[in-house]
Amino acid sequence: MNLADLRENYRRGQLDHGDLAAQPLRQFEIWFATAAHGGRWRRIGIALYKLWQAIIGRPPTDVNAMVLATVSHQGEPSSRNVLLKGVDDRGFIFFTNYDSRKGRELAENPHAALTFYWPDLERQVCVAGTVTKLPTAESEAYFRSRPRDSQLGAWASNQSQVVPDREALERQWQEVAARFPGQVPLPPNWGGFVLQPERLEFWQGRPGRLHDRFRYARQPDGSWQLNRLSP
């Protein structure tokens, strides 16, 4: 499986300013209720979709999604889901806008953590380590493999910055599309990171909350120490 080729074109909904509650915790309650219940037919539809994906041999949607946690130089943490795009001897590879919040925080503090959660398998993997930028040539090679719409989006979005409305964002995208009618070049503020792990924890759910937890910790000589942890 080539992780770089795993991508999903999200089409299941939209969110406008007028749809949001006045208070953020109320908005969370609304979304949580939808996620917890979601309607009988929606749950049936999702189950059938997963079954069809399994029958045709496609991997589950966003199986490569991971929570990336970063910390600013002031010690303020933040987290978000990003997509894993490669794993090799260097570590875990992902791509983003270097001017985004996560990009700025990684520039200030190059220590981060990742969490993978696969609920159907009752498994979780937690990773922590140091982060460095990928070589520009490697970022450019991956960028060229992306769909054109995604390439244009990387130019159009000033990630993490305030935008007045959806129309302004779409207008920026149209302007970029007109600017690059042919091949879309790599944006100067966009590219890859690799997280070199110093600690990995593998969690397997078990009955009675007596879960199995094993931690790999990198030793000074480069070897790994493996220990079982109490759940």
Structure tokens at 170: 């779409």
Distances from the Cα of 191 to the Cαs of 6, 33, 42, 78, 151, in angstroms? 17, 36, 37, 20, 12
Cβ-contact 112, 129 below 8 angstroms: yes
Active-site residue identified among 209, 213, 215, 228? 209
3-state SS assignment for residue 21: coil
Verify whether residue 43 is a known catalytic residue.
Answer: no
Tokens 């979304």 locate to 31
Strand pairing report for 111-118 and 91-97? unpaired
Spatial separation of the C-alpha atoms in residues 45 and 174, rounded to whole Å: 34
Cβ-contact 140, 186 below 8 angstroms: yes
Spatial separation of the C-alpha atoms in residues 201 and 178, rounded to whole Å: 47
3-state SS assignment for residue 213: strand
**CA-based nearest residue to 230, from 219, 216, 209:** 209
Spatial separation of the C-alpha atoms in residues 131 and 146, rounded to whole Å: 23
User: Active-site residues: which are they?
Assistant: 209
